[in-house]
Structure 1
């Protein structure tokens, strides 16, 4: 299936977009988009090191997942922060671990993966995204109720900040790891972070 080519509306939308209106825009050739409170945010595509790391983590996570879960790369996630008829919030995490039954719903009904489908989101820090990944997205994913959030920073030494949902306080940190990362939540996982560079 070929994705539709994204053309920026001329002029740009003068009103805030819902998640459905955002999804109807399609794909871009020159980067990726997110939706923040109805406003379209454009970002450049990530570089080679970022994509290599994302691929390595995808393979490792996929091989560790228990039955009933899936993982995908670089896909829109409806944060479900506002009602469907209100300005929407859509982020595009580098990796999303989700409940596998979401696939069937999307096949039958269309739409995006939802925050309520997600178990874990992973962001890999790019030079231009450090504050966004450590602060802004952390707040967005916590508000959306995503149970686990990992931030991978490729600057030597490669590190992974693991966070878990902590109720009204947002996320609590489980620690920042270098070398071998081991976790039992949200599934048993062990990975040598040094292989990412």
Structure 2
């Protein structure tokens, strides 16, 4: 009788060595590889629309990036997430991207990511100090979370996001 292989929690170096996987979306949660299907076209359209609108309204010195690895916790067992969109300073270190570089992280929920986006990532992002986190639902509503000393405080939007934080902007969710 054979025994199951002993689980091994990955370090950040082991994560980088594993390389990029284009067939599935892979994140690292406390040393464990989390695999999900690649986004569907409707999801990609929402991400592209948000990225375009955000780019047009960013203050100088900021950039939008789509689906990049963000180191949430570098300590073994490491956590690396892949938000749908991030906004960060253009003066940030090119690689690796770390949570302290982000002004905003955005997740567009998929049917299988609701709990992860609302609960797990919300907790991880708050603990990592990401000041703004938006969760976009499939009904085109947005929960905009702003980090305070007591944790994230939520504001809901439907149709359009009109906000002054982290900078003044108007984003159409129906575009």
Shared fold (TM-score, shorter chain, > 0.5): yes
SS at match of 1:194: coil
TM-score by length of 1: 0.82
Matched, 1:148 2:148: no
Deviation at 1:176, TM superposition (A): 1.0
Question: Which residue of 2 is the match for residue 76 of structure 1?
Answer: 69
1:21-78 deviations in Å (ceiling 9; x for gaps): 2122111131111111111111110101000100010000011111111110011100
> Whole-Å Cα distance in 1 between the matches of residues 28 and 53 of structure 2?
29
> Whole-Å Cα distance in 2 between the matches of residues 13 and 180 of structure 1?
49
Which of 26-35 and 47-56 deviates more? 26-35
Question: Which residue of 2 is the match for residue 134 of structure 1?
Answer: 118
Matched, 1:172 2:140: no
Equivalenced residues, count:
172
> Whole-Å Cα distance in 2 between the matches of residues 190 and 130 of structure 1?
25
Unaligned runs of 5+ in 1: 1-11
Unaligned runs of 5+ in 2: none
Equivalent residues of 2:12, 2:74 under 8 A apart:
no
SS at match of 2:174: helix
Question: Which residue of 2 is the match for residue 98 of structure 1?
Answer: 88
Specify whether residues 24 and 13 from structure 1 end up closer, same or farther in structure 2 by C-alpha distance, changes over 3 A only: farther
> Whole-Å Cα distance in 1 between the matches of residues 127 and 115 of structure 2?
17
Question: Which residue of 1 is the match for residue 10 of structure 2?
Answer: 17
SS at match of 2:105: strand
SS at match of 1:132: helix
> Whole-Å Cα distance in 2 between the matches of residues 194 and 122 of structure 1?
17
> Whole-Å Cα distance in 1 between the matches of residues 37 and 89 of structure 2?
29
Q: How does 1:53-72 map to 2 (within 5 A)?
A: 53-72=46-65
Query: 2:37 is matched with which residue: 37, 44, 51?
Result: 44
> Whole-Å Cα distance in 2 between the matches of residues 20 and 186 of structure 1?
32
Question: Which residue of 2 is the match for residue 159 of structure 1?
Answer: 141
Deviation at 1:179, TM superposition (A): 1.6
> Whole-Å Cα distance in 1 between the matches of residues 74 and 82 of structure 2?
17
Question: Which residue of 1 is the match for residue 170 of structure 2?
Answer: 190
TM-score by length of 2: 0.92
